[in-house]
Amino acid sequence: MLALWWLSAAVSKLPESRVATTEACDSAELPAPAVVVGGAAVEPPISETIELRDGRTVALRTLHAELQLTYAHGLVAAEELEALVRLAESRGGFRRSPLRRQHSDGVIKDDIRNSSSCPLLWPMVYAGRAHEVAAAANGAALLEELSLATRISERVADLFSRSGMPTTAAHVEPLQLVRYQASELFGPHHDYHESPSSSVQGEQRSFTVLLFGSTLPPGSGGETRFPLLDVSVSPRTGDALIWANLLDDGTPNVRSLHEGRPPASGEKLAVNVWVADRPFDSSSDLERAVRT
């Protein structure tokens, strides 16, 4: 308890105040996202506007009936994403994603991926260890990272709860920052666990919330593409793409296949927020997720 109290006291003093929490959101003026379905640009209307606990207003557009594929305007502030990138870089956290071989439906395929990623501090593990975090040489930066990761995890959980799916930050995996430089890509893949062995506690990844930290105009690459739905979406800073990885019965949906297309020039930044089908149990070993 003491450690948690200490964390909240420390967090309130942190550079957090430099980072905006709310932004004006006038849905009448929101620019339509760059979405291409079946080769043609589409402009789906705003279907819902949700006011979050922290004061942000998020406008949603349904992009496709399958996967509950949704575009969310203004889920995160550009300053929050810039701060996360700065903090990840300051601790040398970005790693070139491993090219691993994976089994999929009995077939071994090469997972083509040369983007870089950085798992962020997981509040499930570190919120209760703030004294240890603060004692590190770069303690102030780590606490700021923890504070931002906590805030974003709670915001995503709040969005899901207000959309009718009761969710807490305990359902959220460690956030994963990803960076694609020119020509880097992440080939077609699924986010769900192909087998329980890659999960932390036997959970499954129900939803992916992909927060965009860069804006790439249509035609300049960097799209998130769903080849089986023939939908592609260009990234825009602060907005997010949300989709279900599972079918209604909780089993993997192969149609959630998606890829990160390479930016033609410039770079693309994003944060993967995976929402699990159950809350993580912090009383048992979570170190496994921290190592990845």
Ligand X SMILES: *[C@@H]1O[C@H](CO)[C@@H](O)[C@H](O)[C@H]1NC(C)=O
Give yes or no for residue 62 binding ligand X (CB under 6 A): no
Minimum CB separation from ligand X for residue 190, in Å? 19
How many residues in the shown chain lie near ligand X by CB under 6 A? 5
Find the length of the chain: 292
Instruction: Return the range that interacts with ligand X (CB under 6 A); candidates 24-32, 180-188, 197-205, 211-219.
Output: 180-188
Give yes or no for residue 114 binding ligand X (CB under 6 A): yes
Minimum CB separation from ligand X for residue 112, in Å? 6
| Cβ nearer to ligand X, comparing 173 with 259 | 259
| Cβ nearer to ligand X, comparing 145 with 184 | 184
- Among residues 49, 183, 265, 292, which is the contact residue for ligand X, using CB under 6 A? 183
Minimum CB separation from ligand X for residue 226, in Å? 19
Give yes or no for residue 112 binding ligand X (CB under 6 A): yes
Minimum CB separation from ligand X for residue 34, in Å? 23
Torsion of CA 223, 235, 54, 169, to 10 degrees: 20
Instruction: Return the range that interacts with ligand X (CB under 6 A); candidates 80-88, 141-149, 162-170, 178-186.
Output: 178-186
Minimum CB separation from ligand X for residue 119, in Å? 21
What are 217's two structure tokens? 């105009």
| Cβ nearer to ligand X, comparing 183 with 292 | 183
Phi, psi (degrees; rounded to nearest 5) at 150: -65, -45
The residue number whose beta carbon is nearest to ligand X equals 114
Q: Which residues pair with 102 in a beta bridge?
A: 109
Minimum CB separation from ligand X for residue 188, in Å? 12
Give yes or no for residue 185 binding ligand X (CB under 6 A): yes
C-beta atoms surrounding 220 within 10 Å = 16
Give yes or no for residue 184 binding ligand X (CB under 6 A): yes
Instruction: Return the range that interacts with ligand X (CB under 6 A); candidates 179-187, 205-213, 227-235, 271-279.
Output: 179-187
Task: Report strand pairing: 205-212 vs 40-42.
Answer: unpaired
| Cβ nearer to ligand X, comparing 180 with 280 | 180
**274 neighbors 169 (Cβ within 8 angstroms):** no
In the complex, which residues of this chain contact ligand X (CB under 6 A)? 112, 114, 183-185
